[in-house]
Amino acid sequence: MRCLARWVLGGFLLALGALPVALYAAGDAAGAADFSQQRARLVATVRAHAAQPGSGAPGGRISPRVLAAMAAVPRHLLVPKRYRRLAYADRPLPIGHGQTISQPYIVALMTELLGAGREDVVLEVGTGSGYQAAVLSGLVRHVYTIEIVAGLARRAAADLARLGYGNVTVRAGDGYRGWPEHAPFDAIMVTAAPKVIPPPLIAQLKPGGRLVMPLEGAFGRQSLMVIEKGADGRIVRRKIIAVRFVPLTRNRR
C-alpha cells in the first residue's frame, strides 16, 4: 500500500511518496540481515539498561510494546551515512546543524514514560532525524512533530516518507509554541531542553495527558521530567533522572 508522510513549511502541506522499507534492502540482503541482528542486540541492551538501578524506567523495565516498536525502526536509515556503522550503538550521534539523534535507551525511556495509547494523538517538539517520531508512529494514531531547523525538517520528512511512516506529519517551526491547529494532544514529548516548561504546551495538553521533556535547572543541570495534567487542570511534576540534551531554541520573530 502506498503511504504518505507530510511536511509543513510556511503554511504549505506537501505530500511525499513513500516506498516500503524492504526496497532499501534489495540487492543487499546480507547488509539488511546484519542491521536486523544489530537492532535485536540493541533492544537487548535497552532491556538490560532498564533493569539497572537508577535507570529511571518504571519498575525497572521497558514494556514489550515499546521494545517491539524500537525493533521495527531502521535507525541506520535515519542517521547520516557516515555514522551508519554506529547506528545501533546505545549512544547519541551527530545529525548535522549542531544537533544529535538521542541515545536509544533515552528514546525508549521517554517513550515508556509517555505512556501513549494506540488511539492517541501525540505532539513531538524537536524532530531531529525523525527517529523518535518513527518509534512513536508504531504506538499511536498520529504524530505531529515540529523541528525548528528547516534543513532537518526537510530531511526527516523525506526519510519518514520513503520509509512508509504515513501517520507522521512534520512541520518546520518553533516548537515552544506547540501546534494549536491540532491541539489538544493526548501526550507531548519534547526532545530538547528549555529552562522553563513552555506554557503553550501545557495549554495544548489534554486533561489527563502527559508531557515528557528534559528541563534545565540550576548550573545548567538537566533533568528528565514527567508533567501530568489532571482532569481539573492541575499540574504535577516528577523528576526522573539526570540527562543531557541540546537546548530548546526559539524563533524570536
- The pLDDT of 47-74, averaged and rounded, is 97
- Is the model's pLDDT at 12 over the cut of 70? no
Residue 250 lies in a domain: no
Full residue range of the structural domain in which residue 38 is found: 4-243
Task: Give the predicted TM-score (pTM) of the model.
Answer: 0.87
Task: Give the pLDDT confidence of 141-154 residue by residue, as tens digits.
Answer: 999 999 999 999 99
- Over residues 199-217, mean pLDDT: 97
| Domain harbouring 163, CATH code | 3.40.50.150
- State the average pLDDT for the chain: 89
| The pLDDT of residue 251 | 75
| Residue 138 cell numbers, joined | 508504531
Would residue 135 count as lying in a domain? Answer: yes
Q: pLDDT digits over 101-157, tens only? A: 999 999 999 999 999 999 999 999 999 999 999 999 999 999 999 999 999 999 999
Asked if residue 227 is part of any domain, the answer here is yes
98 vs 57 pLDDT, higher one? 57
Q: Is 251 among the domain residues?
A: no
Using CA atoms, how far apart are residues 189 and 63, in angstroms rounded to an integer?
18
The reply to whether 119 falls in a domain is yes
Q: Strands 4-9, 12-17: parallel, antiparallel or unpaired by DSSP?
A: antiparallel
The predicted structure's pLDDT at residue 6: 42
Looking at 55, 63, 102, 129, which residue is catalytic?
102
Helices (H), 87-177: 104-114, 131-137, 150-162
Q: With 60 as the cut, is the pLDDT of residue 23 above it?
A: no
Contact by Cβ (8 Å): 227, 237: yes
pLDDT above 50: residue 221: yes
Name the band, by pLDDT with cuts 50, 70 and 90, for residue 94: very high
Please say if 223 is a catalytic residue. no
253 within a domain of the structure (yes/no): no
pLDDT at 21 exceeding the cut of 80: no
Q: Per the domain annotation, does 252 fall within a domain?
A: no
Kindly state whether residue 158 falls inside one of the protein's structural domains.
Answer: yes
pLDDT value at residue 9: 41
Residue 2 has pLDDT above 60, yes or no: no
d(CA 70, CA 204): 27
Domain total for the chain? 1
252 pLDDT band, cuts 50/70/90, is low
pLDDT of residue 34: 87
